[in-house]
Chain A
């Protein structure tokens, strides 16, 4: 796994809705958006390719190929990498801070109107440390909101949760697109059992966790020049306030069923800094990989 500049600022796991707060920190008297944009690139392959495809690609080759691929996509379609950056950040955090495994790449549901929809922005498997091989497995189905305004992000994610957790929807069929599950993996059989079609998600739901990932522009992160204790105290306080706000607003909603939520927060000085830095990298990279 590649490294990341993100580090844990606050961890409150012993709650009904646990909190994980991470931050990129500061460097040269400003928020480390450049380093974070580099993380996006370093992690892109892990996010894009199932491990069997990842296996036959070298790091040097990967960058060249991806540069070329993105170049073509930008040229032929007006795709913008926006929401996807949130998915990618969530991917990094789940892999790095929650030790998630990638056995599933996507989950699709049949919704009430009989349409097929892609459910959730990330699907990972997390091993719960237990006694010996009997440690449990959780299915983490992530929602990500790559937003400027945390309050709007909370509103949006709650709407979506309500929608996704609607009874009808969850009891309906699902299809999980899995990576090749290596039979040597100690949890292989369990995961396979989880993915057998006879079991509905509804039945396995006690094992499902929904990580709710919210990024937001934080005045605190922007104002500070260094990630010293003062900053850490102040940003921790802010994240806890957001956490409380989320819990409060979540409590007011009547979610269709009991769900296990895990809130993940990532404050940024401004989202724009990160996007600009990332765009710049992509452009340089496309130029470099042009034939």
Chain B
């Protein structure tokens, strides 16, 4: 009789079950469920049995009863719901949310859903495979809410959610500031975009995905991440609306004791997992070993595989190994059309198109914006067989795989802690598809310690920067906060309003800049007193230097430019070619020798666009603008005005909205071809409407691939 946990697990892992052993295995699991305290183990065993349910044909009623007993209703419904006794069938039906066809929740999902439907707030920590977002779908479907705000960490997730939520046709989907509102609205936004919207109807519900990012302090005392700070601001503002909320994140331990009690009371921590995981240690001393082991693993496993690496450089190295070691026919159908387009329109020398042809995908933050989601889609469709990625995939995308290789000890800049590990491991397996994930680990798992999460914007703890504290309304400030801010508020140089407006920029730095502007010899200011959209290099350098020296974003030297001069040069270059990426790449890669150096430079260029052009430089130039406008007029100096230039930069120096359309999966090169055929669009809504009204088959300048891209982008599923 299979009685011990190990015996059952071993029996379930065997290629074939021993004759007559099937009942004992299940009875053994049932006995463990009754006598063993650890529900995680029992759940793991039941999922392993479900994975081979065809081996349990005569025992199916028992297997279904076990699954029902654990509340794994989605599996029951998918495998053999009719074998349940009527009472259990009723129980299963009771786990269906209202108005959401085809969905049945597992037990803990139901628990969370009911709490939320009863109007309570929920802060949920649950494994990656839990199904946190389906609960959100159900809340939207319930019809209880008119304006829901959904905050996600990346633009890629906006696109993913946009497609997912398009079926809720009662709602207008808002993904961008500047769209007009409907009677009922679903706002799907990053924190930056949420904060940029000023006249939003009062939400009655908000959801924050991956809320652990509120506490991104990376081992230091205060938040070190600008985006985290903005997320805290968004959280503070949302909470002030009094709307009901639902926050979700994988696997945290607790909430900081500094947070209000009612907030902490809404925390639900569960380890309810819907998939099982096998962890398989791999030994490799040298890079050669690593390469050999990866090749071996890939030749042995079935199904899609994710490889997690510490950095984009490492991704490039691994992708190169894969390319050289590729089996006959590659790792899948690949993405030949996308590859061709990239060669024709971006660069034929870049290794990425070759990778895509071989079924090798890469995912990190240094790719064209429209491409990432397409690669994920191809991976989910198994055209891409191996996806080599950085932590961009953990944080930004909801994809999962049968097999996961964790190659490096550090992932991104967060060390390899248990949280990250659990998060990556949770990507292995997928409910109802790959029941058991296989996790190959090149390093031992970290010690099992999960984080306690603070929300500095709400707790006003030491984790909050002065800038964050300053964004808190006066009446909400704690004594300590008042004390901390006293100096900043009482100084006579720069007004509090201006400092508040410049979200995320340290007040102390702003004051320093203001002091400089207040005292510098007016003749030296000459170069910054411009108002045009096309400044000269010298004018640009003057402004960029002030940003660089006084109010730089964190990590200013890690994104291609290492000096203010380089930054100004690159920005000027991009501006001169009107944001043409191909031309910009040519400049950046000019002196690259060898293919690897070339690839590296291409990625640097995308990194530069993401970091500086998309957000940081325009935001900081606007901050400088507002400070100068306060300080200079009293000195009798007429300040410049950078808004026209900042707006151009935010649009990537291209026609307005081209970059925005990239979020929908349309390369700006393609949108550009179509602009003359549609009415002038001032808003995203108008642009999409214009594109949708075109008969693509009648536009000769589009290639077939481009038509397909547009079709997919403009469709809503």
Contact = CB atoms under 8 A, between A and B. Distances in A.
Contacts of B98: 68, 291
A68 B90 CA distance: 9
B27 A174 contact: yes
Contact of B90 (A70, A117, A177): A70
Contact of B60 (A72, A116, A198): A116
Contact of B30 (A57, A68, A118, A177): A177
Contacts of A291: 98-99
Contacts of B20: 114
Interface residues of B, number: 43
A177 B65 contact: yes
A65 B89 CA distance: 13
Contacts of A179: 69
Given A69-B90, A116-B58, A291-B99, A175 B26 contact: yes
Contacts of B66: 177
A44 B88 CA distance: 11
A48 interface: yes
Contacts of A47: 87
Contacts of A44: 90
Interface in B412-458: none
B90 A108 contact: no
A18 interface: no
B87 A178 contact: no
A110 B23 contact: yes
Looking at A58, A77, A183, A197, the one whose CB has the most chain B CB atoms below 10 A away is A197
Interface in B1-27: 1, 3, 20, 23-24, 26-27
B69 A177 contact: yes
A53 interface: yes
A198 B27 CA distance: 10
Contact of A106 (B82, B85, B96, B114): B85
B161 to A, nearest CB: 25
A44 B60 CA distance: 25
Contacts of B107: 53
B62 interface: yes
Given A108-B65, A181-B34, A195-B31, A173 B24 contact: yes
B348 interface: no
A116 B89 contact: no
B224 to A, nearest CB: 39
Interface in A65-87: 65-66, 68-70, 72-73, 77, 79, 81, 84, 87
Contacts of B524: none
Nearest to A103: B34
Interface string A170-203: 0001111111010100000001100111100000
Given A114-B20, A175-B31, A177-B62, 19 more contacts: A47-B87, A49-B94, A56-B111, A56-B114, A56-B115, A61-B114, A69-B93, A69-B94, A72-B93, A106-B85, A108-B62, A110-B27, A116-B58, A116-B59, A173-B23, A176-B30, A177-B69, A192-B35, A196-B35
A105 interface: yes
6 contacts: A50-B69, A58-B118, A68-B93, A73-B86, A177-B69, A196-B31
Given A197-B1, A198-B3, A176 B86 contact: no
A144 to B, nearest CB: 13
| Chain A to chain B: the 9 pairs with minimum beta-carbon distance, closest first | A69-B93, A197-B31, A175-B27, A178-B34, A195-B34, A175-B30, A110-B23, A116-B59, A108-B62
A110 B25 CA distance: 12
A191 B66 CA distance: 18
Interface residues of A, number: 47
A74 B96 CA distance: 15
A131 interface: no
B61 interface: yes
Contacts of B60: 116
Contact of B86 (A61, A79, A178, A181): A79
A48 B91 contact: yes
A135 B118 CA distance: 42
A176 B31 CA distance: 7
A197 B3 contact: yes
A108 B66 CA distance: 11
A86 B71 CA distance: 25
A192 B36 CA distance: 9
A150 to B, nearest CB: 25
B320 interface: no
Looking at B30, B94, B118, the one whose CB has the most chain A CB atoms below 10 A away is B94
B656 interface: no
A131 B91 CA distance: 39
Contacts of A65: 94
Interface string A101-112: 000011010100
A14 interface: no
Contacts of A258: none
Looking at A66, A116, A118, A191, the one whose CB has the most chain B CB atoms below 10 A away is A116
A115 interface: yes
Interface string A83-127: 010010000000000000000011010100011111000000000
A195 B32 CA distance: 9
B368 to A, nearest CB: 44
B193 interface: no
A110 B63 CA distance: 13
B28 interface: yes
A195 B115 CA distance: 34
A119 to B, nearest CB: 11
B35 A53 contact: no
